[in-house]
């Protein structure tokens, strides 16, 4: 029984799944070069936006013939712009295993009214990827389900000779997992997740196939200006060189550049993956040694290395939801973990962000506190 509060505390208690912790070297002074009060269309603004695009390409290893754009409304904006602009040309399969994937299903079936096939799995599980017809259909999926801590293990299930396109929400995967660009036609993410950047803008990465779809297909529904990627049947190239559709925050752009440069300083994508893996292992080692807590992900091969979701499994627990909330509240009150309650629509439990901006020493220091709070809440029941 761990009734005594542990002596050590995480130096940084920020384990939120978005906005995620700033990198450990971050300070506001690093944003001093932001061209505040200047037009984003001035040379200085355009240069910053272009640098953000090309540094993204460099860190993520995105092929030279893929287009990268900075778009409005964060990851949701990027995903909805893709779905509204490109779907409806052929049969669509929608894959979902948690809240955000389910949101894209609602978009496509209820709002766009596309007769799509939805394949869903419960929290902790994943759909049968081998059964997805990636050769013939358009496929929309989430690389890492942030609210269930379940990710696709790789892109091997996606056909190389596909005729449809893949649209992948990679917002809690980019900069922490290997994304096989040859399998992904549209990839989206935002800045506030793995890089710990500021929330505002979305990133959209388009393969040549995605560009071909945009230039050969016009959806039957109207598109608002902030979704429009083409003009007169041609891609608006400027969007992919920094001439954004509307006004971005140059402060957020500067912060993104700082975050990208920090990622480079820790070994780029490889270094970021290693940091996330080490954080996740610190939790897995702890959980494996305890019989009262478990990973929500049923199959370790699909367990996330960013949004690690945990459930309490002790049969002394009377009200699972109240118990998990009380544990999270106690850890927050102790100042050792902020924002680690499970997502509102997910099963009761905890969610501990393990992306690369989080320090492994902090994750490790948090583990004894989980036991302390667990024991305290069992005693308090
Ligand atoms: C998988 C996934 N998709 C989409 C979103 C929404 O992202 P945003 O708020 O950047 O639009 C989130 C946010 O947590 C997410 O985890």
The stretch 344-371 carries a mean pLDDT of 97
For residue range 79-99, list pLDDT tens digits in order.
999 999 999 999 999 999 999
Q: How confident is the model at residue 67 (pLDDT cuts 50, 70, 90)?
A: very high
Alpha-carbon distance of 186 to 205, in angstroms, equals: 6
User: Would the pLDDT of 1 be above 60?
Assistant: no
Mutate to test the pocket of ligand 1, among 172, 309, 339 (most ligand atoms within 8 A of CB): 172
Which residue, among 315, 332, 344, has the nearest Cα to 370 in the 3D structure?
Answer: 332
- pLDDT for the residue 367: 98
Mutate to test the pocket of ligand 1, among 76, 103, 141 (most ligand atoms within 8 A of CB): 76
**Which ligand 1 atom sits nearest the alpha carbon of residue 307?**
16
* Residue 18 Cβ contacting ligand 1 at under 6 Å: yes
Q: Tell me, what DSSP letter sits at residue 293?
A: E
- pLDDT for the residue 3: 73
User: Would the pLDDT of 2 be above 80?
Assistant: no
For residue range 319-347, list pLDDT tens digits in order.
999 999 999 999 999 999 999 999 999 99
Alpha-carbon torsion (77, 82, 88, 92), positive or negative: negative
The CATH code belonging to domain 30-264 is 3.40.640.10
User: Would the pLDDT of 112 be above 70?
Assistant: yes
Alpha-carbon distance of 299 to 8, in angstroms, equals: 32
C-beta separation of 179 from 143 below 8 A: yes
Alpha-carbon distance of 174 to 189, in angstroms, equals: 7
Question: Considering the chain, what is the average pLDDT of its residues?
Answer: 97
Which residue, among 307, 348, 347, has the nearest Cα to 325 in the 3D structure?
Answer: 348
Paired strand residues for 341: 350
* Residue 244 Cβ contacting ligand 1 at under 6 Å: no
**Which ligand 1 atom sits nearest the alpha carbon of residue 146?**
16
Tokens of 187: 């990839």
Q: What is the DSSP string of 338-368?
A: BS-BPPTTSPSSEEEE-STTS-HHHHHHHHH
For residue range 234-260, list pLDDT tens digits in order.
999 999 999 999 999 999 999 999 999
Assigned CATH topology for domain 268-380 = 3.90.1150
- pLDDT for the residue 343: 93
Domain(s) labelled CATH 3.40.640.10 in the chain stretch across 30-264
For residue range 119-128, list pLDDT tens digits in order.
999 999 999 9
Max CA distance (Å), the chain:
69
User: How remote is the CA of residue 145 from the centroid of ligand 1, in Å?
Assistant: 9
The stretch 285-295 carries a mean pLDDT of 98
User: CB-hemisphere CA count at 13 Å for 196?
Assistant: 25
Tokens of 218: 């016009």
């Amino acid at each position: 029984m761990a009734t005594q509060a542990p002596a050590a505390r995480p130096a940084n208690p920020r384990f939120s799944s978005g906005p995620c912790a700033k990198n450990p070297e971050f300070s506001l002074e690093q944003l001093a070069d932001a061209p505040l009060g200047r037009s984003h269309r001035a040379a200085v603004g355009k240069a910053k936006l272009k640098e953000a695009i090309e540094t993204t390409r460099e860190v993520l290893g995105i092929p030279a013939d893929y287009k990268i754009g900075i778009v409005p409304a964060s990851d949701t904006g990027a995903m909805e712009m893709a779905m509204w602009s490109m779907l409806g040309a052929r049969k669509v399969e929608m894959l979902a295993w948690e809240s955000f994937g389910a949101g894209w299903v609602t978009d496509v079936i209820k709002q766009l009214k596309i007769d799509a096939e939805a394949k869903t799995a419960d929290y902790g599980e994943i759909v049968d990827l081998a059964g997805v017809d990636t050769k013939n259909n358009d496929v929309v999926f989430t690389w890492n389900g942030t609210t269930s801590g379940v990710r696709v293990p790789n892109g091997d299930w996606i056909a190389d000779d596909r005729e449809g396109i893949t649209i992948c929400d990679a917002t809690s995967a980019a900069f922490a997992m290997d994304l096989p660009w040859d399998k992904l036609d549209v990839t989206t993410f935002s800045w506030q997740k793995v890089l710990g950047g500021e929330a505002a803008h979305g990133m959209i990465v388009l393969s040549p196939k995605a560009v071909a779809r945009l230039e050969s297909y016009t959806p039957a529904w109207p598109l608002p200006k902030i979704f429009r990627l083409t003009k007169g049947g041609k891609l608006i190239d400027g969007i992919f060189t920094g001439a954004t559709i509307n006004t971005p925050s140059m402060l957020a752009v500067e912060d993104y550049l700082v975050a990208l440069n920090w990622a480079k300083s820790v070994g780029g994508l490889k270094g970021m993956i290693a940091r996330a893996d080490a954080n996740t292992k610190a939790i897995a080692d702890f959980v494996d040694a305890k019989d009262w807590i478990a990973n929500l992900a049923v199959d370790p091969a699909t367990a996330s290395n960013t949004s690690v979701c945990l459930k309490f499994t002790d049969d002394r627990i009377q009200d699972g939801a109240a118990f998990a909330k009380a544990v999270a509240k106690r850890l927050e009150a102790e100042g050792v973990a902020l924002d680690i309650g499970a997502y509102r629509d997910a099963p009761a439990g905890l969610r501990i962000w393990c992306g690369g901006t989080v320090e492994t020493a902090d994750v490790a220091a948090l583990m004894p506190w989980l036991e302390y709070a667990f024991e305290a809440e069992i005693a308090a029941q």
